[in-house]
Amino acid sequence: MKTALRIGFASVFASILAAGAACAAEPAIPEIAAKTFKVGDLELVSLHDTQFVMPNDAKVFGLDAGVDAVTTVLKDAGAPTDKITLSVDALLVKDGGRLILIDTGVGPKGGKLIESLKYAGVTPDQITDVLISHGHGDHIGGLINADGTPAFKNAKVRMTAAEWEAIKAGGRADAIVAAIIPQVETFAPGAQISPSVKAVEVKGHTPGHSAYEITSGKDSLLAIGDSAHSSIISLAKPEWFIQFDGDKPTARDSRKELLSSLAKSGQLVFSPHFPYPGVGTIKVKGEGFVWEPALKP
């Protein structure tokens, strides 16, 4: 990972469209949103899909710590203590002639990714590569349309071989698997995907979970996938188990290691589940870490 990081704020420009009522969850984000920013010479766009709101019941976060401990962490961060909100977002990378989409949101049942993409001036047919971080529904749901046809019909769909095997074996995404088989090209962990995009293995969440590093000149960004889920809890208490993690001890160790490395390097991060647009840096705070957004919604 690069240590010299900066984001050209002069070249950061944003476009947000308020379409209909904003989500009821805090913070209020338009349902359709596309935020453009630069990493070096590359143009990237954070695309909003939906939001998850879950009760603070220690069933997902704080499995091994309990509701009271989670409440304390939320309170210390000035966040509501009765619920935990996760954004669901995807990242578009304009890499020369290629239009690379990292993850695809929840899909036709409630996801607004396609609308956000169109708001950014890009049609689904223009996407040349879809990079999948892992095979959970909030990342691969958008690979198909409501009628079951591929949502990005001209794109290669790329993921690690281990993740593709896990998706096929899981049996929960049979319609998606059937639709995208001709598009899928797998790669080994750490593969160079395009001139500017490289896969980065982060173990534990799923069998073939991958982050993606986007580099232009001296600047870079790491799209961390589901290495961490809550910008508050996963950073303050990276050692706590998360229900979504398939191999919880490995995911915990990966998370702690990755957050330490990101805090040290100051590398710019994109997280699909941190507050939209999910672009910022990780700082050390006490025994844990804290999220510092680099861009406003």
- Interface with Zn ion (CB under 5 A): 138, 226
Which lies closer to Zn ion via its Cβ, residue 126 or residue 243? Answer: 243
Using only C-alpha atoms, what is the Rg of the chain? Answer: 18
Whether the Cβ atoms of residue 66 and residue 58 lie closer than 8 Å to each other: yes
Which lies closer to Zn ion via its Cβ, residue 7 or residue 242? Answer: 242
Cβ of residue 88: shortest distance to Zn ion, in angstroms? 7
Which lies closer to Zn ion via its Cβ, residue 134 or residue 237? Answer: 134
Cβ of residue 208: shortest distance to Zn ion, in angstroms? 14
Give CA–CA dist 256/270, Å, rounded. 17
Cβ of residue 134: shortest distance to Zn ion, in angstroms? 8
102: Cα separation from own chain's centroid: 8
Measure the CA angle with vertex 78, ends 72 and 80; round to 5°: 75
Which lies closer to Zn ion via its Cβ, residue 196 or residue 231? Answer: 231
Whether the Cβ atoms of residue 189 and residue 236 lie closer than 8 Å to each other: no
Tokens 């050692």 label which residue?
Answer: 239
Cβ of residue 206: shortest distance to Zn ion, in angstroms? 10
Whether the Cβ atoms of residue 107 and residue 143 lie closer than 8 Å to each other: yes
Which lies closer to Zn ion via its Cβ, residue 40 or residue 204? Answer: 204
Across the beta sheet with 210-216, the strand order is 197-201, 210-216, 219-223, 268-270, 279-285, 288-293
Whether the Cβ atoms of residue 173 and residue 219 lie closer than 8 Å to each other: no
Look at residue 185 and give its three-state secondary structure: strand
Cβ of residue 86: shortest distance to Zn ion, in angstroms? 8
Cβ of residue 1: shortest distance to Zn ion, in angstroms? 22
Q: Which residues pair with 83 in a beta bridge?
A: 55
Q: Which residues contact 106 (CB under 8 A, 6 or more apart)?
A: 49, 50, 88, 137, 138, 141, 142
Q: Which residues contact 169 (CB under 8 A, 6 or more apart)?
A: none
Give CA–CA dist 140/137, Å, rounded. 5
Which lies closer to Zn ion via its Cβ, residue 206 or residue 215? Answer: 206
The 8-class DSSP code of residue 10 comes to G
Cβ of residue 195: shortest distance to Zn ion, in angstroms? 27
Which lies closer to Zn ion via its Cβ, residue 5 or residue 258? Answer: 258
267: Cα separation from own chain's centroid: 16
Cβ of residue 137: shortest distance to Zn ion, in angstroms? 8
Which lies closer to Zn ion via its Cβ, residue 30 or residue 135? Answer: 135
